[in-house]
Structure 1
Amino acid sequence: MVFDEMNLAKVEHYFAQFLSVLEMDKGQRLIHLYDGKDSAKNGIKSDIAIRDNVLFVGTVNTDESTYKFSDKVLDRSNVIKLSMVPFTELHQNQQHKKIDSQSVSYDQFASFQKSNDDIDLKSSELKLLQNINNAINQADRNTGIGWRIVKQIGEYLDNLPDAFSKEIDRQKGLDLQINQRVLTKIRGSEEQLSDLLGVDGKESTLQKVLDEFDSQGFVESKQTIKAKARDLEANGFTI
């Protein structure tokens, strides 16, 4: 299911039932459509099941006409920022041929995934996430990294394709997850976030934590930290 410009309205208002249902066990994920004794009204059942073969994707804009996501939504999603295609590549992209798609059953899709109830992260990675969480908590005690995010980062890294299983590529995956799952939650005023992001010549405590793990890595995350710091300096706040 694809939601185009899903934050023109507050996502929590129309998607709250889905957020709650997706946390339930298989067989219990039912969305209640209407009240009534009849088992079906005009051929439509009163409840609809949300099964594992349903995925939700949405596009969002960040401007004065849209609403920000709450932490409840951010904790359950990956926010992927799309980069602009250089104008010099437009002709090259126009030459791409359309490829006939091939359907994949849910059982096939599920067979591609590794599932583990344990948190599959290295001790060094858990320490990094803890240090990031501590740094964020110093700026805002109501914001941080929850257990759900830690577990899902582990699942993401555990499901990297074999071609990306090398240590350097695992770290790139960790960089993407910190950028998509953690840094999206950092927003607020310059007074609150100046030390965390680094403005007015201050060293960013967040970037310092990343450098202690790997001074050469985390390219995506460090770019986002710098962009948010520029927002603080220019506007007094970042989103």
Structure 2
Amino acid sequence: MSFFEELSPEMDRYLENHASQEPEILKKLRRETYQKTTQPHMISGFQQGRLLSIISQLLSPKRVLEIGTFTGYATLSLAEGLPEDGKITTLDINEDLAYIPQKYFTESIFRHQIEFRIENAIDYLETSNELFDLVFIDADKDNYLKYYHLIKPKLKSGGVLMIDNVLWYGNVLEENPKNKSTKIIKELNDLIAKDNDFENLILPLRDGLNLLRKK
């Protein structure tokens, strides 16, 4: 089996049964996402959620930025590592789905540490002067390069940047892709690999997660 193929349901169950338990609020959120959205596969889900949580807990970041909220699963996973004075800002432009993450953020013990903004991420990054310890990007692929260039100067030394969907269903192996998103993701992966300001590794988890540490 190649790394970009889906794991069997049996293997997925095995991996979930041999990992730390998913918090109850995330179980409820995952269930509602599959019941009420047309593209539930966009949710980070159990395995990636536990990875985001562990990385956040290792860093104990005071300032976290997430680009692409969807229903808020990754947001709540990342929030698990926040210190008492930590804060996560999550950005999305989908007003129609905003009620779902807002509902779960309000129910969460991290409610006072989550800033949910319906705002264009490029506009936010161009006007914000904040520096971040941890950034997670899981949004529109066509703007991935722009996000990367705008985020880089706002990420602290030792900070971590995570970019989702960087294998793009295996399409990054295409020599001359015609699809715009595929071209951008390939260009981004090439750029990161040559950027001496970062150490990075692409994890073949789900659709690929590029994990970067700023030197």
Q: Tell me, yes or no, whether TM beats 0.5.
A: no
Q: How does the TM-score come out when normalised to structure 1?
A: 0.28
- Bigger Rg, structure 1 or 2: 1
